[in-house]
Structure 1
């Protein structure tokens, strides 16, 4: 068992069940007096429950043990609130290094707030990193609180009663049940902590100026004019009243402590203002100020963490909550957002203004809005959890330029997306965009492929612009989801129908031809000269009634999932363009399939047209916009129709041995690097990844002997040069193929030794592989997103063709299926061109095992399996390279604030 040193780790902050911020950190020798005081302040009854007797000497002995010099197998963590120790969690292994005994102590008066549970979660994470597989705890059978704590963790717990005592054994298997339980506790705490921010009873604007045009004055005006229902104050030492709102010289001078303070002071004054707010008892800050340097930013966040304040910003537009009994508009946008059902979170204030205006214009409206700015604290993940719980939001819109904890975000998004559409703008797709994002948010950004994998796996609808986001939101808000991608186009102008058909095909939608029966039904109600294909050309003479009957008959046809109606105004029919649209909107509320309209003469990109019986129908000025929105809706429907994937159990995996191999290699190579062939092969063996037989040789004679052992029926072998930095063997001409006989082996070895003198450390020999499909599988460890598994076409052209798909590990069964079917080369795997299908089950196993290896080993920076030979009989890795780097294990699902 390898014990990882946690003593030098910085403290982390996390939320208790009541939304309070606490600090979790390792115990230090200087904590002795505080720990002793923690126990001394306990009631005799709580001391008895903790130590099985009310002995006061236990306090000193426990403090001595916790603060003793570091020793193998012992961990101790403190929970602190505003500098006071409120809890202690510890575990220690005995003779059985796989098991540790755990103990928890919580200060009197702080029970039932989740202190003990949070400490146990952090101890569980540390224990897993140390290779511990189970925790044990002894408790009195009457100590219902601690027994309930262990029972509610979400981990498999067994109890053994021995007289008045109970021994609990907690298995530390990484189950989805435990992650879900941790996630639910985190969601509850997060929502409670956001109430002072999004439902404040009192708001103060710090830095509200008397001069027109100042940001603070603009925010104060928005709050006052927007009808905020709570108490509102300004803070300005030079004024007694601003815009009719009472003003005070400082936060401390306010007659009531505000829940929320909106800070609009110069950057240099922000840390001092945050400190003042914290001392006064403010629970949330919105900092609109931009231009904070690193020291100012650090001081701001430290004040928020120390005084238990949630923070939006800095460098943001502000926040809004349109609940009728609140009407909070703490922004400096030009207008007030209309109340509605869309939750909006953005990093860019400009994008936020555009989305607020667009949603208000469409009539969708906004439930709550947060401009996250530089996102020091409150993030998109927080807002998703708020919208999930607020009872008002039915549509979530995000514009995120960076991600703090993508794996936690992904789990939250997967859950929320089952309940409501979650849409985002895929910002920073290009190198220029990524540079702009990094400059704008001072945060690291991520690869397009990685973000795409996150969005796909989480069911997030990713659009390419704010305009496309609004276009898609309009359809998802107003219309039901299609059951599939099959679209029927109806038009009164053939040319517009062709444009719509092109747009649908380009968006990946299908345009099935109508059956003879349907064609006959349509022609029976359409004017003479109509064509009942797909598109349906209803001609310029179509009337309001005829168009309505045509669409209704298509809607009743089972082979169509959505209808797109493309209209242009004409002077042929008595019905105007508005009449024709009304024929569609009149029954929009009764339809079970989505309908969208294209009107080329429309001035706005998208409108929502009211339906006569309630509801609305989206109308687009461009065919491409309508087709994109329908395609996004079809993708969402398909994602919802598929059950949530599971990470399959794998047999034959030797995780402990693999971790030992990695630790040994990094001990010998502290800076990391590429594994030698032997270690690489050993690591693959730990995960049951199939490899072609091979042998290592460092001399000519060894090469001949190895070739004799490896020759197959045809006697042909392959020789590959090796040195640690060699990545592309073919490019370096460091491979000899189809070698026969001893002489060719010797000649090949001498050639490689001569050309790569001073570099080559040896050669790898393999039997010449059979013919098959050459594939690529690999892993890239992203610093932000974690391991990304890639799959696609392999061989020498893999980088040129770039035919790869990617998913974030750990892979579920659905993820593996998507990986295999997404690349352009996928038809080759299913027997295209007469090659016969490859062993898909074994290919799935290879990807799952690669995913497991990447998830188990955070030190795995890169893995490159190229080529992977796939044949009908199996899947074999022909060449594997793995690079390790020193990396401290980190639990991405551990509850902690940014």
Structure 2
């Protein structure tokens, strides 16, 4: 969004990157931005609306009117030593926060919140953003002076999660606290973000009054469909059609405009031509509508600039008015709760109630998803189609589902992702209590649908998969697999382990099932038990009881062909009865049985937890069971603690980077001294090298460094290749250096790769590569691999997204296929894994702290039983681009 406020002119140095749309405590949206000189009239108006008490609490004096001199000082800042932010709603200032530097590392902070908007968490939002900005300029400590009776402002500081010191002097409370984020302050901020965003979605999914704008009389019109579906579903609230050319539609009184609708409107469904949407938005804003569902098409999904411009303006107007929006080009939203019964969608009927929450982006896909769920008899709690996803996204709905008791599992079909760092954070929180199943088709730089606002990523698809894996997400490839997994995790307890019993009445089917299970990483510890084809229901039940009772079994996999003697219902009842007596997981494959659909459930009472998911083929059942088991293992394991290496001096690192960027604003690769200084600030020592132009220089360098040494080419195409063409090792004396020089010079000169360098000989070990790259979409990406053929030929590289825990670092090391060479392969001594983990942890922290580091490559990293040595390092810095999840609350 561009700058908003009372003037369009931006002052010199105006930091546009500080602007943010934030969700307040009550679920509404406000715009936060730096103050501008043109805010003079707005500041006067804000002050005039304040009560005498609020004015006294802020200024310690009854200033009924601010002087022009004071307002000039307030509105004219340098955006570094003096910073002020304003929070606006419909261009009206509702909150002001500022800091003034009082020493190189401290600043005095103050806030003023509109009397009419108290209790919305405005002070907390301003403090959070001011603290983040102050840290950019080396400020580490805030001070404040507050009157003792100003309990609300005192609470802003004490509740923020900082360690606040207080001192009372002359009737004023002096506060001071470090603003370096702590675990507690981060947790407080994320908790507030969660509650606010969940509430904003709750207001969308649980409205009491819905207006359908553009509800036509023609049964073929979009608005008519939405109105009819709302009424047919039995919506428990009130529905108002809005149409200036009709008095009644479907038996309901129609109003000319939204302003004519009696009482407040929680949700407005906008189904008018695209060129009329912006006008409708303005009318809704004036009427105080909370949220919009825009089903109209004709925005950025069109292949022309007009649609892009219209969509950008739509975002600006909606956010500036404090509303939230689903869409445009949305298929709709659904809530099956009996107390709501909301079908604001193009689905002709309300799906059966269930415990699966579903999110899809495109309208066409939404239809397919709902139809597939209905065919399976899989009930839904809520459903949403985000359309072009200009505001409300899957992240917002996940925030809602964390607290929604009606939802026990979540399915997401993602065609694009605007903020994967935030997605990972929220999905991890949700996944710890509820399964999150994601169809990740098309989420890459290669498949962004028209109309979706997303930064282009440089990262490969493996990075996205790694991010989902970190978050504990169950990754599937299509909607069919999504529902295969969903019908298991919704209706069955999660598997306690990988051990499976196979019980059936066909040896061929049993063998096929066992093979499918093994292929999914599961272990058949009981069976396959193959009953005769003429087995009775009693024999089925006895075999199943024995399988469930086996202590070496975590899940029971039943696979039957139609029995000859027993009736179909007798067999299904045997499965039900056996499963009811156990807390173990049960899945079934019934081939060709009459009266039992392979995509339904052997259920009593519909959505009962005793429902047994049934699959058409053993491979589908094994796939679902494997995914559920892997998720259960993730959920049950220790996820570790955030890495916090010691001996870090961020100020030194920031000085190195800022010094380089002040001279080279476009960024550049650091020279060896700069690289060493930057990494040393994070406790990473790079072994020095000496570039040499002649053989005598090489001998002199070797003698200075101390034998034995290595002589190697500096050519990028040859460095760190693991072969002998560009390097000579273990040179123990002058003669060895001279012979190595002659050999390399003769071999490499024709390749223009003859520039050489000398370095101390490292302890024999395993050469590794550790990198960190700043991606426009994902932010920092840390990668690890074993140097040489594993990374260069076999692409054996693993990735993780910081911030990392100690467990995540360990998993990163272990996840490469070449990891056995680190752990004593073929009798070799294992490397010092803790030292390698510490190095990766330091790389993850520096990459997370400093988005200016465009790329960082440590290679080779020599890992050996005694520790690790960084033998080479390359760092490139570039001007900082704001990350999608910037560390302070913001809607992107």
TM over 0.5: yes
Q: 1:84 aligns with which of 89, 92, 97?
A: 92
Residue aligning to 2:768: 775
Q: How does 1:541-690 map to 2 (within 5 A)?
A: 541-571=534-564, 574-601=565-592, 606-611=599-604, 615-690=610-685
**SS of residue in 2 equivalent to 1:719:** strand
Residue aligning to 1:894: 888
Per mean C-alpha deviation after superposition, the further-off stretch among 175-184 and 38-47 is: 38-47
Residue aligning to 2:107: 100
Q: Distance in 2 between matches of 1:238 and 1:198?
A: 29
Is contact 1:13–1:305 with CA below 8 Å preserved after alignment? yes
Give CA deviations for 1:363-388 in whole Å, capped at 9, x if unaligned: 44122111011100001111112222
Structure 1 pair 507–732 and aligned structure 2 pair: CA distance change class (3 A): closer
Shift of 1:797: 4.6
Give CA deviations for 1:415-464 in whole Å, capped at 9, x if unaligned: 222222111112226x7xx5343446353465422222222222221111
Q: 1:211 aligns with which of 214, 218, 221?
A: 218
Pair 1:262-2:269 in alignment = yes
Pair 1:28-2:28 in alignment = no
Shift of 1:842: 0.6
Q: Distance in 2 between matches of 1:482 and 1:614?
A: 14
Q: Provide the aligned length of Structure 1 versus Structure 2.
A: 863
Q: How does 1:409-558 map to 2 (within 5 A)?
A: 409-428=423-442, 435-439=446-450, 441=452, 443-444=454-455, 447-512=460-525, 534-558=527-551
Q: How does 1:132-143 map to 2 (within 5 A)?
A: 132-143=139-150
Residue aligning to 2:854: 861
Give CA deviations for 1:567-623 in whole Å, capped at 9, x if unaligned: 11243xx22444223211124233111011112336855321115997211111111
Pair 1:737-2:728 in alignment = yes
Is contact 1:160–1:167 with CA below 8 Å preserved after alignment? yes
Is contact 2:711–2:740 with CA below 8 Å preserved after alignment? no
Unaligned runs of 5+ in 2: 1-11, 300-306
Residue aligning to 1:785: 778
Is contact 1:345–1:371 with CA below 8 Å preserved after alignment? yes
Pair 1:331-2:345 in alignment = yes
Shift of 1:297: 0.3
Please tell me the root mean square deviation across aligned C-alpha atoms, in Å: 2.7
Residue aligning to 1:392: 406
Q: Distance in 1 between matches of 2:252 and 2:802?
A: 53
Give CA deviations for 1:310-334 in whole Å, capped at 9, x if unaligned: 1001111011112212211011124
Is contact 1:90–1:102 with CA below 8 Å preserved after alignment? yes
Is contact 1:720–1:729 with CA below 8 Å preserved after alignment? no
Q: How does 1:233-312 map to 2 (within 5 A)?
A: 233-292=240-299, 293-312=307-326
Shift of 1:751: 5.5
**SS of residue in 1 equivalent to 2:553:** coil
Shift of 1:639: 1.6
Per mean C-alpha deviation after superposition, the further-off stretch among 131-140 and 864-873 is: 864-873
Q: Distance in 2 between matches of 1:207 and 1:331?
A: 14
Is contact 1:27–1:77 with CA below 8 Å preserved after alignment? yes
Question: What TM-score, normalized to structure 2?
Answer: 0.91
Q: Distance in 1 between matches of 2:843 and 2:171?
A: 48
Q: Distance in 1 between matches of 2:205 and 2:697?
A: 72
Per mean C-alpha deviation after superposition, the further-off stretch among 321-330 and 596-605 is: 596-605
Is contact 2:293–2:325 with CA below 8 Å preserved after alignment? yes
Shift of 1:58: 5.8
Residue aligning to 2:9: none
Unaligned runs of 5+ in 1: 515-533
Is contact 1:803–1:824 with CA below 8 Å preserved after alignment? yes
Is contact 1:710–1:717 with CA below 8 Å preserved after alignment? no
Give CA deviations for 1:334-364 in whole Å, capped at 9, x if unaligned: 4321122211111122332233233344444
Per mean C-alpha deviation after superposition, the further-off stretch among 5-14 and 819-828 is: 5-14
Q: How does 1:679-828 map to 2 (within 5 A)?
A: 679-697=674-692, 701-712=696-707, 715-721=708-714, 730=721, 735-738=726-729, 741-744=736-739, 746-747=741-742, 754-755=749-750, 763-828=756-821
Per mean C-alpha deviation after superposition, the further-off stretch among 281-290 and 872-881 is: 872-881
Per mean C-alpha deviation after superposition, the further-off stretch among 319-328 and 240-249 is: 240-249
Is contact 1:351–1:466 with CA below 8 Å preserved after alignment? no
Q: Distance in 2 between matches of 1:813 and 1:195?
A: 36
Is contact 1:588–1:616 with CA below 8 Å preserved after alignment? no
Residue aligning to 1:833: 826
Q: 2:866 aligns with which of 847, 860, 873?
A: 873
Give CA deviations for 1:651-707 in whole Å, capped at 9, x if unaligned: 111211111111222223322233223322322222222444422345654433222
Residue aligning to 2:3: none
Is contact 1:270–1:296 with CA below 8 Å preserved after alignment? no
Residue aligning to 2:7: none
Is contact 1:721–1:734 with CA below 8 Å preserved after alignment? no
Structure 1 pair 577–6 and aligned structure 2 pair: CA distance change class (3 A): farther
Give CA deviations for 1:280-337 in whole Å, capped at 9, x if unaligned: 2222111112231111101211221122221001111011112212211011124321
Is contact 1:347–1:374 with CA below 8 Å preserved after alignment? yes
Is contact 1:490–1:565 with CA below 8 Å preserved after alignment? yes
Structure 1 pair 577–108 and aligned structure 2 pair: CA distance change class (3 A): closer
Shift of 1:82: 1.3
Q: Distance in 1 between matches of 2:273 and 2:295?
A: 10
Structure 1 pair 500–160 and aligned structure 2 pair: CA distance change class (3 A): same
Per mean C-alpha deviation after superposition, the further-off stretch among 212-221 and 78-87 is: 212-221
**SS of residue in 1 equivalent to 2:192:** helix
Q: 2:74 aligns with which of 50, 66, 75?
A: 66
Shift of 1:752: 8.8
Is contact 2:559–2:589 with CA below 8 Å preserved after alignment? yes
**SS of residue in 1 equivalent to 2:601:** strand
Residue aligning to 2:21: 13
Q: Distance in 2 between matches of 1:670 and 1:408?
A: 29
